[in-house]
Chain A
C-alpha cells in the first residue's frame, strides 16, 4: 500500500486565530483542520485560499469516539467524509480514544482500555467508519494521564494489531509518545523500536508543560527540547512524509511561532517553511 501523503515537509494546524500566520508561510504545503470546526456552509475564506495555493488540507476529527462502546454516530462519520470532500483531502485522521459515555460528553480524549474486547470494539468502529469515508483513515494514539487497570497489552502491541486488522494508517504524535513514556515511566529510547513506523501517514508535534509531576500535552505551550529530540530520533530512523505542529490556544506572537516551525524543520532535517522554498 502506498503512503497516503506525498512528501509535504513541515506544516501547522489551521486555526482561525492564526490564519494570517499560515497565509504568510511561503513554504507551507500542508495543514490540518479540525473537522468539527467546519460546518456544511462554505469553507472559511483563508482556508479556501490555502487550498487554491495548492496546500494539502487534512481534516482531523476529535469527536468520533472510535474507542467508545456506544454505537458510532453516523452523522459524525458523514461529516468527516463531507470534510474530506470539500477540501479534496488525500486522507482524514481521528484518535484512538473515546470522548463520551453514558450520555455525557467528557470534553476530552480519553484512553481506551487496552484489552482484547476493547480492541474488538475499536476495530469494529474503525472498519465501520472506513466503509463510509472516501479516503484512507489515519489513527492517532493519544496522550493519557492515566491507564486502565484491566490493560492486557502495551500500547505498541495494541496499536500494531489495530492497524493490521483495519488497514488504517498511523498518525504518530511525537509529543503524545513523549508524554506517555514520561508519565508511565517507560524507556524513551526503546519506544521507537516497537512501533509500526512503516505505517505512519504523518506525524504531529505539540507543546506541553509539567504540572503535578506529570507531563501534560497542552498544545498551548512551546514544544520542549525533549520532544524535538524525540522527533529527530524518529526522523533518523524513518522520517514521516509530513510533520505538523499543533497549537490550540495561548497563541504566541507570529515571530515566535515561526521560530518554533523553524526549530521543528531543523529537528526533522527538513527545509524551513518560513522562507520561500526557492531561496532556502
Chain B
C-alpha cells in the first residue's frame, strides 16, 4: 500500500466516520458505528463546555439531540458546532430561554456567517429577547 493508497484509505475512513461516507472495504461496520456514536458523545461533551446554557437548556436530551444533529457533519470546532445547532433550534422555534440568551450573547459579541470562523465585532450590537435586550459592548454581553 503506497502513501497515496494509505491517504485514500484514511480519507475514506474519516468520511465514513464523520460525513456519512460509505464504509471502507473490509472495515467492520458494526464497530465503526459504535466508534461514530462514541465520537458524537464526546463531541457533545466538548461542545457543552463552550455552550453550557444551550446544553443545560436541553437537559438529558442534550447528548442525543446533539448527536442526531451532528451525525454526518464534519466537526467545525466547539464554538461553531454549538452555534450552528443553536441557530437551527432557534429557527425551528425549539430553543429554550437559556439557550436563546446564550446564543444572543454570542451574536452580539461576534459576527458569524455560518461558514467560517466567527470574527469579533468592532461596533456595539444588540438582540431583543423576551423581557429585554442583550447588548454587546466592548467585547462583553449585558442584559437590559
Binding site for B on A (CB under 8 A): 68-70, 98, 100-102, 104-108, 110, 113, 115, 117-118, 121, 145-150, 211-212, 214, 216, 218, 220, 249-250
Do the beta carbons of B35 and A98 come within 8 Å of each other?
Answer: no
**Given A211-B38, A212-B37, A249-B49: A104 and B6 within 8 A (CB)?**
no
Using a Cβ cutoff of 8 Å, how many contacts connect chains A and B? 93
- Asked if B6 and A118 make an inter-chain contact with CB atoms under 8 angstroms apart, the answer reads yes
The answer on a CB contact under 8 Å between B3 and A110 is no
Taken residue by residue from 39 to 58, chain B's Cβ proximity to chain A (1 for < 8 Å, 0 otherwise) reads as 10011011001000000000
Interface of B is mostly: helix
A–B complex contacts, Cβ < 8 Å, 6 sampled: A105-B74, A113-B1, A118-B6, A121-B6, A147-B28, A218-B42
Q: Known A-B contacts: A104-B14, A149-B26. Give 14 more (CB < 8 A).
A: A69-B4, A98-B10, A102-B10, A102-B12, A104-B11, A105-B75, A107-B39, A146-B28, A146-B35, A150-B9, A150-B26, A211-B37, A218-B42, A249-B45
What residue in chain A is nearest B1 (Cβ atoms)? Answer: A117
Enumerate chain B residues within 8 angstroms of A150, measured Cβ to Cβ: 1, 9, 26
User: Contacts A117-B1, A145-B34, A249-B46 given: A110-B6 contact, CB under 8 Å?
Assistant: no
Contact (Cβ within 8 A) A104 B19:
yes
- The residues of B that contact A250 with a CB separation of less than 8 Å are 45
- Verify A146–B27 contact, CB threshold 8 A: yes
What is the bound-complex CA distance between A115 and B96, given in angstroms? Answer: 50
Contact residues on B (Cβ < 8 Å of other chain), bracket: 35 or more
Q: Which residues from B are CB-within-8-Å of A146?
A: 27-28, 31-32, 34-35
- Which listed residue, B26, B34, B74, touches A212 by the CB 8 Å rule? B34
Contacts of A70 in B (CB 8 A): 7
Contacts of B9 in A (CB 8 A): 113, 148, 150
Residue of B nearest to A108 (CB): B39
Q: Which A residues are in CB contact (< 8 Å) with B38?
A: 145, 211, 216
Contact A148 B27 (CB under 8 A): yes
Interface string of B63-78 (1 = CB under 8 A from A): 0000000000011000
* Pairwise interchain contact B11-A102, C-beta atoms closer than 8 A: yes
